[in-house]
């Protein structure tokens, strides 16, 4: 993981999306800062997807009680091959709809640069090339893939202007790039393109008919797949992604001690003595750092080939709620 702190910029919030403003926003992003930026659908709250600290900052700013996987924004379709396995179906859809309000879910490259927290521990990745010229210019200048959910507090409506973002997120977002009103006003269409047949995961500006016209065949929904007969596994749909990353090892929560043969996922400075595999979510007890490390550390300890991962208690304040949500699911799995 890169970086450790947010850059010390007290920005004056809304900045005009002229050449200078775009360059500043791109620089701030690349340093690990959060930038709200316009897309043709809604305003996004962006962070460098390769920087776990920055990605954790998104969840902290939105006040999300759980970590949902984020859409990763890139300036051109060619950038996707460094991040995902590109299928022929994805190539077809990208050629037809990118740049534009279409998000493609693909298999993530196993050792890709995007932080596991941005993918919420999934082995798939949602990718989008937006068409808004300000978004494209910023993404090109930032030179990093940008994770961005809609720039609103969790549970609030998606913002379609810089002012909406500032009103809703206030000081939680240090910089808002003002590129005028978003014209679509509705989030992107999400399509699972991991297989041969497109699966519509979230309806949006690009319709099922639009997609069918390009692929010349069926467009399935998650419900279709659940009814069976499609010859492929039902994919995880947005909003139904609660049960992902379950480690192979059993997870023991609220551990205040650790048994021989266990791995320890520690939190804070006051760690019980342990000679086996151990990683610390945050020595200083910082929830943002802990969130950034969560999925990566769980995965690493799982690779240590232990039966049990003992996890020290993590307080519920701030991102602690989301961390505990995920830990609870990891412990409850199977």
Positions touching ligand TXA (CB under 6 A) are 39, 41-42, 44, 68-71, 101, 103, 105, 122, 124-126, 128, 148-150, 187-188, 190, 201-202, 236, 238-239, 241
Does position 182 bind Mg ion by CB under 5 A? no
Between strands 13-16 and 199-202, the pairing is: unpaired
Q: What is the largest CA-CA distance in the chain?
A: 62
**Which of 50, 51, 103, 150: binder of Mg ion (CB under 5 A)?**
150
- Decide: is 188 part of the binding site for Mg ion (CB under 5 A): no
Mask for 48-87, x = binds Mg ion (CB under 5 A): ----------------------------------------
Please tell me the count of residues contacting Mg ion according to CB under 5 A: 1
Cα–Cα distance, 30 to 57 (Å, whole number): 14
The answer to whether 161 contacts Mg ion (rule: CB under 5 A) is no
Site string for Mg ion, 15-44 (x = CB under 5 A): ------------------------------
Nearer to ligand TXA, 202 or 274 (CB): 202
Secondary structure of residue 50 in the 3-state scheme = coil
> Counting contacts by CB under 5 A, is residue 189 touching Mg ion?
no
**Shortest Cβ 181–Mg ion spacing (Å):** 18
Report the C-alpha gap between 332 and 334 in whole angstroms: 7
Q: Name which of 24 and 128 has its Cβ closer to Mg ion.
A: 128
Q: What ranges make up the beta strands (E) of the chain?
A: 13-16, 35-37, 44-48, 71-73, 84-85, 102-108, 124-128, 146-147, 175-178, 189-192, 199-202, 220-221, 250-252, 263-266, 278-280, 308-311
Specify whether the CB–CB gap between 80 and 107 falls below 8 A.
no
Give the integer Cα–Cα distance in Å for 203 and 190.
Answer: 7
Nearer to Mg ion, 50 or 150 (CB): 150
- From the list 95, 175, 189, 181, the residue with the least C-alpha distance to 142 is 175
Closest among 130, 98, 93 to 219, alpha carbons compared: 93
Angle between helices 287-302 and 320-332 (to 10 degrees): 20
Please identify, using beta-carbon distances, which residue of 180 and 272 lies nearer to ligand TXA. Answer: 180
Cα distances (angstroms) measured from residue 228 to each of 136, 139, 234, 235: 39, 40, 8, 12
Closer Cβ to ligand TXA, 67 or 267, answer by number: 67
Report in angstroms how near the CB of residue 290 gets to Mg ion at its nearest. 24
**Which residue is closest to ligand TXA by CB?**
238
Tell me the window of 55-63, 95-103, 131-139, 145-153 that interacts with Mg ion (CB under 5 A).
Answer: 145-153
- Give contact residues for Mg ion (rule: CB under 5 A): 150
């Amino acid at each position: 993981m890169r970086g450790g702190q947010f850059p010390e910029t007290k920005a004056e919030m809304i900045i005009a999306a002229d050449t200078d403003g775009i360059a500043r926003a791109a620089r701030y992003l690349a340093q690990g800062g959060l930038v709200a930026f316009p897309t043709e659908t809604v305003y996004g709250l962006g962070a460098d997807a390769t920087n776990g600290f920055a990605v954790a900052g998104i969840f902290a700013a939105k006040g999300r009680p759980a970590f949902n996987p984020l859409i990763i924004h890139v300036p051109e379709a060619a950038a996707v091959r460094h991040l995902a396995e590109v299928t022929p179906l994805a190539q077809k859809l990208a050629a037809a709809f990118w740049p534009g309000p279409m998000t493609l879910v693909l298999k993530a490259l196993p050792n890709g640069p995007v932080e596991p927290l941005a993918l919420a521990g999934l082995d798939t990745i949602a990718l989008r090339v937006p068409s808004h010229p300000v978004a494209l210019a910023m993404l090109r200048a930032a030179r990093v893939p940008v994770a961005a959910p809609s720039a609103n507090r969790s549970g609030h409506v998606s913002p379609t202007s810089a002012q909406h973002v500032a009103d809703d997120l206030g000081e939680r977002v240090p910089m808002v790039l003002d590129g005028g009103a978003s014209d679509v006003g509705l989030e992107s269409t999400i399509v699972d393109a991991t297989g041969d047949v497109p699966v519509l995961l979230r309806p949006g500006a690009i319709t099922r008919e639009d997609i069918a016209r390009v692929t010349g065949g069926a467009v399935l929904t998650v419900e279709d797949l659940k009814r069976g007969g499609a010859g492929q596994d039902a994919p995880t749909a947005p909003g139904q992604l609660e049960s992902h990353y379950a480690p192979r090892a059993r997870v023991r929560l609220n551990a205040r001690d650790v048994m021989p043969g266990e791995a320890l996922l520690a939190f804070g400075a006051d760690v019980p003595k342990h000679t086996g595999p151990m990683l610390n979510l945050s020595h200083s007890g910082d929830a943002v750092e802990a969130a950034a490390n969560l999925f990566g550390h769980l995965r690493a300890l799982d690779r240590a080939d232990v039966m049990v991962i003992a996890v020290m208690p993590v307080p519920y304040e701030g991102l602690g709620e989301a961390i505990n949500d995920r830990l609870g699911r990891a412990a409850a799995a199977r």
